């Protein structure tokens, strides 16, 4: 048996004339869950629980938690989630298992379609084609959270989301293994000139050669950027018998027998294969140009699966033409075609394209480093979990536009406990106003953080009565800094 649950929220509309200190609860009662729209159906001590619990399953995986209590909607309304762009079925199943009402569509929606329908939903899951604009957010009266079932979040107006107290989650690292495995495959292909031999066979040419073809065993791999991908690759490469050095701006613990190089120059001068796994930053733009290519060993190989801006590809074409490098693999480009199709990758798009296309032992792939079924499924699980954790527990860890705050769950054995999720403007006096409201109660735990203009507070309060909850909710919603107040129990 569980305690009664109490989930509701008030958002102070940014454009609302009443956004001058008082939360316009009455004015938004018709559009959001209203805790006062119906009398509390069950007491908070759990003594008279309703038989029907909206079918909400009571499990969500939170490491280290003991029987966390998952919330039910307080009033008649269920949590409605809109999933667009054919997100992974694993995520759909997970969210339905939680008892949410999930509307699943395979395509993306236009802004007009979103404007018409977004008002119904508490959460939305998209991939890269659906654009969540400021206009869309202004109509998203009930929206609590956005899940991007992909790596990037450029398609979302993150500022507009944050201003309305809406965290946006994505899955930046679910495809790390896919990229690491691709690099292993590319190293084998380059050192055996495999793609050239395969292309010759397609044309009917038999060219059995061993000259300048090598095993990977014993060769030195230089990894630039020893993060999620670089470190996984390090382990895989050693298991193939390679030796590994890496260069990173951070001093990082080596895995296996790998060794951190002191400088990029040292790595470039020693490695048989150089592979790049740095993020796109001002400092990494053009990080490998003519000078760095010249510092690489003659007959070595370069692989770039990171970002197109990291390598000067004109200089790479020079290094291939002069035979300084024995081969290269490139998956990412400064300018990439907007869609699949023939004759999309031309000199008009990238002026060095045909020069690289002509060179032997050059592997060019269309940004597929992370594109595997496993990665898609991992993305589904990761983003699905993030949505559940935010809706059920208020945890915003992993959000890209929002302060990251988490509290350990309220367990089944804890009754008469509420969790306050309070998104507010990061302004002086905001926390003082909150503490004046909750300070006289038993605050079990509390955590707060801010990111630019937005701040987020989670607090668990025990031994609260129904009238305490009403009072806390009303007063928090009226604090001058309030963006969104949500109570969970
Ligand atoms: N080809 C694809 O499809 C694909 C898929 C996934 C990721 N990626 C790209 O791969 C890259 C690496 O991803 P990740 O998940 O391993 O990132 P990560 O953030 O886990 O690791 C990046 C590492 O680079 C280091 N770094 C940052 N600046 C550096 C510099 N100037 N010099 C040396 N090291 C530096 C960081 O300290 C960090 O250890 C990113 O650019 C990402 O966008 C590409």
Question: For the whole model, what pTM was predicted?
Answer: 0.78
Tokens of 351: 């002026």
DSSP 293: H
Please give the residue that has the higher pLDDT: either 434 or 51: 434
Q: Is the CB of 248 under 6 A from ligand 1?
A: yes
49 confidence band (pLDDT: 50, 70, 90):
very low
DSSP 311: B
CB within 8 Å of 278: residues ≥ 6 apart = 224, 225, 284, 287, 306, 307, 310
Q: Is the CB of 370 under 6 A from ligand 1?
A: yes
DSSP 422: E
259-260 vs 273-276, strand pairing mode: unpaired
Q: Ligand 1 mean position to 277 CA, how many Å?
A: 4
244 and 234 Cβ atoms separated by less than 8 Å: yes
Is 307 a known active-site residue? Answer: yes
Q: Is the CB of 247 under 6 A from ligand 1?
A: yes
Q: Ligand 1 mean position to 26 CA, how many Å?
A: 48
Is 105 a known active-site residue? Answer: no
Tokens of 212: 């300048």
Q: Is the CB of 283 under 6 A from ligand 1?
A: yes
Mean pLDDT of 134-154: 95
Least Cα distance to 71 among 335, 378, 460, 366 occurs for 460
Is 367 a known active-site residue? Answer: yes
Catalytic one among 96, 367, 408, 441? 367
247-285: per-residue pLDDT in tens? 999 999 999 999 999 999 999 999 999 999 999 999 999
Mean pLDDT of 194-220: 98
Domains and CATH numbers, the chain: 3-173+374-488 (3.40.50.720), 177-364 (3.40.50.720)
Catalytic one among 69, 192, 307, 486? 307
Q: Is the CB of 284 under 6 A from ligand 1?
A: yes
Q: Exposure string (b/e) for 467-479, b if CB count within 10 Å is 16 or more?
A: ebbeebbbbbbbb
Q: Ligand 1 mean position to 130 CA, how many Å?
A: 26
Percent of the chain at pLDDT > 70 equals 85
CB within 8 Å of 398: residues ≥ 6 apart = 169, 386, 404
What distance in Å separates the CA atoms of residue 35 and residue 44, rounded to the nearest whole number? 14
Measured from the Cα of 252, ligand 1's closest atom is 39
Residue 434 pLDDT > 80:
yes
């Amino acid at each position: 048996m569980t305690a009664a649950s109490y989930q509701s929220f008030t958002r102070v509309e940014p454009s609302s004339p009443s956004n001058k200190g008082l939360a316009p609860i009455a004015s938004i009662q018709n559009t959001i869950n209203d805790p006062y729209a119906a009398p509390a159906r069950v007491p908070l001590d759990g003594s008279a629980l309703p038989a029907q619990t909206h079918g909400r399953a009571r499990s969500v995986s939170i490491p280290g938690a003991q029987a966390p209590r998952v919330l039910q909607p307080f009033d008649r309304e269920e949590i409605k989630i809109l999933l667009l762009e054919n997100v992974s079925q694993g995520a759909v199943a997970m969210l339905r298992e939680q008892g949410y009402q999930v509307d699943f569509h395979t395509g993306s929606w236009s802004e007009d379609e979103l404007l018409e329908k977004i008002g119904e939903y508490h959460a939305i899951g998209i991939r890269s084609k659906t654009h969540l604009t400021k206009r869309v957010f202004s109509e998203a009266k009930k929206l609590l959270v956005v899940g991007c079932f992909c790596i990037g979040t450029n398609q979302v107006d993150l500022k507009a989301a944050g201003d309305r107290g809406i965290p946006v989650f994505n899955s930046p690292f679910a495809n790390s293994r896919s990229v690491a495995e691709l690099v292993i495959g590319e190293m084998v292909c380059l050192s055996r000139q495999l793609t050239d031999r395969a292309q010759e066979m397609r044309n009917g040419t038999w060219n059995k050669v061993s000259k300048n073809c090598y095993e990977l065993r014993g060769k030195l791999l230089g990894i630039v950027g020893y993060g999620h991908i670089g470190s996984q690759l390090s382990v895989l490469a050693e298991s193939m018998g390679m030796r590994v050095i890496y260069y990173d701006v951070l001093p990082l613990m080596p895995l296996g027998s790998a060794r951190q190089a002191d400088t990029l120059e040292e790595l470039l001068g020693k490695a048989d294969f150089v592979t790049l796994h740095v993020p796109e930053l001002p400092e990494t733009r053009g990080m490998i140009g003519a000078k760095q290519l010249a510092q690489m060993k003659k007959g070595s190989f370069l692989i770039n699966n990171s970002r197109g801006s990291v390598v000067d590809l004109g200089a790479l074409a020079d290094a291939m033409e002069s035979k300084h490098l024995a081969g290269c693999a490139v998956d990412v480009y400064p300018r990439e075609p907007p869609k699949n199709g023939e004759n999309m990758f031309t000199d008009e798009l990238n002026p060095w394209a045909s020069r690289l296309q002509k060179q032997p032992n050059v592997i060019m792939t269309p940004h597929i480093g992370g594109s595997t079924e496993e990665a898609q499924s991992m993305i589904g699980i990761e983003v699905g979990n993030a949505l559940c954790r935010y809706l059920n527990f208020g945890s915003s860890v992993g959000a890209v536009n929002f302060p990251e705050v988490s509290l350990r769950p309220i367990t089944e054995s804890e009754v008469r406990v509420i969790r306050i999720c309070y998104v507010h403007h990061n302004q002086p006096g905001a926390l003082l106003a909150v503490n004046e409201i909750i300070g006289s109660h038993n605050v079990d735990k509390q955590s707060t953080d801010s990111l630019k203009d937005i701040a987020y507070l989670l607090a668990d309060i025990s031994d609260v009565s129904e009238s305490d909850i009403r009072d806390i909710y009303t007063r928090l919603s009226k604090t001058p800094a309030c963006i969104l107040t949500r109570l969970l129990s």
